[in-house]
Amino acid sequence: MGELFPVNLKEPVRLAGLMAPQMRALGGGSSINVATVGAYAGGPGVGAYTSTEAGLINFTKIVAREWADWGVRVNTICPGPFASPMMRATPHIADSAATATLQRRVAGTHEIVGAAVYLASDASSFVTGEDHVVAGGMLR
């Protein structure tokens, strides 16, 4: 797991612990974690990566329960293939990922903004402990 565990799970948990007292003192808010749709069904060669992301989804659901009485909502966005630097560096993976979506393409980074704005805003005031998939219909 090398660097994956600290980056994908340990640091989000640590950050949550640091921000929880502040959000509680302010009377609530919204926390959004970012995992991956791959957390639902990892494939060969990505088991460590997708396992840490599945752990982040589980952590989200737990702290959503723990922080609900404080008025803090906690959710996860699970993107599918996005045109990130990592994806651009591995064009063979991008091509394969694009064919795994119903839309047959890799998304632009701007296409995740709507989900983030929704989860951060009062429009999602009754949404907590959820994982919001933004993956172009990628089959899980």
Is it the case that residue 1 has pLDDT exceeding 70?
Answer: no
Contact assessment for residue 134 and residue 66, using Cβ atoms and an 8 Å cutoff: no
| pLDDT (tens digit per residue) in 43-70 | 788 889 899 999 999 999 999 999 999 9
Q: Are strands 72-79 and 131-134 parallel, antiparallel or unpaired?
A: parallel
Domains present along the chain, CATH in parentheses? 4-134 (3.40.50.720)
Residues paired with residue 31 on neighbouring β-strands, in sequence order: 74
Tell me, what amino acid is at 38? Answer: G
Is it the case that residue 138 has pLDDT exceeding 70?
Answer: yes
Per-residue pLDDT at 42: 78
The model carries a pTM of 0.91
Token digits of residue 62: 């737990």
Is it the case that residue 41 has pLDDT exceeding 80?
Answer: yes
49 part of the active site:
yes
Q: How far apart are CA 8 and CA 18, in angstroms?
A: 17
User: What mean pLDDT comes out for the span 63-86?
Assistant: 95
Q: How far apart are CA 50 and CA 40, in angstroms?
A: 8
Beta strands in 12-130 (DSSP E): 29-34, 72-79
Residue 2: band (very low, low, confident or very high) from pLDDT cuts 50, 70, 90: confident
Residues written for the chain: 140
> What are the angstrom distances between the C-alpha of 12 and each of 46, 55, 94, 116?
20, 11, 26, 16
Q: Which of 49, 59, 67, 82 is catalytic?
A: 49
